[in-house]
Amino acid sequence: MNDNSQVVPPVGTQSDISAYARQGFGTPLPLKAPFGLLIIDFVNGFADPAVFGGGNIPQAIAQTRQLLAQARARGWPVAHSRIVFSDDDADSNIFCLKVPGMLALKEGSHDSAIVSALAPAVGEYVVRKSTPSAFFGTMLAPWLAQRGVKTLLVAGCVTSGCVRASVVDAMQSGFRPLVVSDCCGDRALGPHEANLFDMSQKYAAVMPMDSAMDAVDTLSNNA
């Protein structure tokens, strides 16, 4: 089954849409079972507008509770990611030069902990990372491959940062990304909308949760 990406082009790009179509971008991505779910960086610090949060992140977390419940009910592999730096900052990197506050996200800190509403269950993989992508320098790709995942549903924050980086790396690792748009959040809505559109044109299927689950259930039932 091909995806039916549902993304409204952000304001200011409408005049460019014909160029995308003319050049062959936005071709529907064929989805393929089995499925898995990756939830990116829904940690306390990104849920708090006084730390790294804001925008539509709280709404995305609330919607992801439903997505996570549906994934668990279907027995899918589920992975979560969180940004974690060592207590002595020995793994500080260029990401931290751009955003020094990230170094506050330590293993035992409240802000680096996954929000309680999405707490990982036994058997769900938690990726600890120090860069935007959940794939870069981690064991996520082999973990998913060992479980046979072909299409990877993606939720998390922020859309313009760690979600996008992880989606690109998922595609480059041989997985078919399906970005669940209303389960992704960003502290700024402009970058959120622009990146959903751009990912839908180049790297992934993009659709809201209800449409995504309808698509994957139809494919699973016809398998």
pTM of the model: 0.93
Average confidence (pLDDT) over 121-150: 98
222 band by pLDDT with thresholds 50, 70 and 90: confident
User: How many distinct structural domains can be found in the chain?
Assistant: 1
Q: Calculate the CA 38 to chain-centre distance.
A: 6
Give percent of the chain above pLDDT 90: 87
Q: What is the CATH number of the domain that holds 71?
A: 3.40.50.850
Position 98 in a domain: yes
Q: How many residues does the chain have?
A: 223
Q: Can you tell me the distance from the alpha carbon of 76 to that of 103, in angstroms, rounded to the nearest whole number?
A: 33
pLDDT by residue (tens digit) across 175-189? 999 999 999 999 999
For 213-217, which contacts have Cβ atoms below 8 Å and span 24 or more sequence positions? 213/67, 213/70, 215/1, 215/3, 215/4, 215/31, 215/178, 216/31, 216/33, 216/35, 216/151, 216/153, 216/178
Q: Residues 40-64: pLDDT tens digits?
A: 999 999 999 999 999 999 999 999 9
- The answer to the question of residue 5 being in a domain is no
Confidence at residue 18, expressed as pLDDT on a 0 to 100 scale = 78
Report yes or no: 79 and 144 within 8 Å, Cβ to Cβ. yes
Place of tokens 């170094």: 103
Tokens of 4: 């039916």
**What domain range is 134 assigned to?**
30-221
Pairing of strands 78-83, 35-40: parallel
Residues with a known catalytic role? 162
- For residue 16, being part of any structural domain is answered with no
Q: Is residue 200 part of a domain?
A: yes
Residue 2: its pLDDT value, please? 59
